[in-house]
Amino acid sequence: MTSASLVTWEDRVGATDWAAVRTDLDRYGCGLTGPLLTAEETAGIAALYPDGARFRSTVSMARYRFGEGEYRYFAEPFPEAVTGLKQALYPKLLPIARDWWQRLGRPAPWPDRLDDWLAACHAAGQAKSTPILLRYRAGDWNALHRDLYGDLVFPLQVVINLNEPGVDHDGGEFLLVEQRPRAQSRGTATLLPHCHGYLFTTRDRPVRSARGWSAAPVRHGVSVIRSGQRHTLGLVFHDAP
């Protein structure tokens, strides 16, 4: 069944094998969903990039030594796919987030509804929108980093490759580097399939250690685009100061 044949955003998100995704998240700190957008929808979102009126700010990665390339934060009203996918994904991610924080002995502040969580972010002074549209051209890359905007953080986020690897671009693998307790760091590289979602940890995640559970810091980035162009939609589940 394709994403186009599924009526609602909840149907699309629900078609993923979430038990398998959860297993991958626990093993590697990342996991792939099934298709969340159609090819037509990904092309439509990527085509919004030149329209400055759709965004609240633009960041040049080179200016801040974040890498090479550019990204833009969406302004409200968001594209339907942004709002629909965030609302549909949050209930799937919430049990994973709560379980992770329980293992680490941390309070889990996230309510059952995304709207209530975002209202808590806004009450704490984190009211800036965080859905991101990134654009990479040949030679561009994204330095390893974590998307931490304020004190209130949701520990999982989702990216969707809006272009087709091997057709629209070569290179541009998604990189994840995990700093393991009292050990060398571990790297994971994934060439994101067109239209699929990719889940990964925002900050850190629980890993087993000699003392039980420890928090392993995780950074993410993108390898050099060798040719072509790559657009990515990023869905972050907390807002920024």
pLDDT tens-digit map of 190-238:
999 999 999 999 999 999 887 789 999 999 999 999 999 999 999 999 9
Establish whether the linkage from the previous residue to 77 is cis, with ω within 30° of 0: yes
User: What pLDDT was estimated at residue 5?
Assistant: 54
User: What pLDDT was estimated at residue 149?
Assistant: 85
> Are 221 and 143 in contact, with CB atoms under 8 Å apart?
yes
User: What pLDDT was estimated at residue 29?
Assistant: 92
pLDDT band at 6; cut points 50, 70, 90 = low
Of 102, 131, 100, nearest to 114 by C-alpha is 131
User: What pLDDT was estimated at residue 95?
Assistant: 97
What is the torsional sign of CA 97, 103, 104, 109?
A: positive
User: What does the pLDDT look like over 64-89, one tens digit per residue?
Assistant: 999 999 999 999 999 999 999 999 99
User: What pLDDT was estimated at residue 148?
Assistant: 81
- Report the alpha-carbon distance of residue 121 to residue 241 in Å, rounded: 9
Which letter does DSSP use for residue 4 in this model?
G
Helix (H) or strand (E) holding 40: helix 39-46
> What letters, b where the CB count within 10 A reaches 16 and e where it falls short, cover 111-135?
eeebeebbebbeeeebebbbbbbbb
User: What does the pLDDT look like over 87-103, one tens digit per residue?
Assistant: 999 999 999 999 999 99
- Report the alpha-carbon distance of residue 89 to residue 215 in Å, rounded: 24
Helix (H) or strand (E) holding 89: helix 80-103
> What letters, b where the CB count within 10 A reaches 16 and e where it falls short, cover 47-78?
ebbeeeebbeeeeebeeeebbbbbbbbbeeee
Q: Residue 4: pLDDT above 80?
A: no
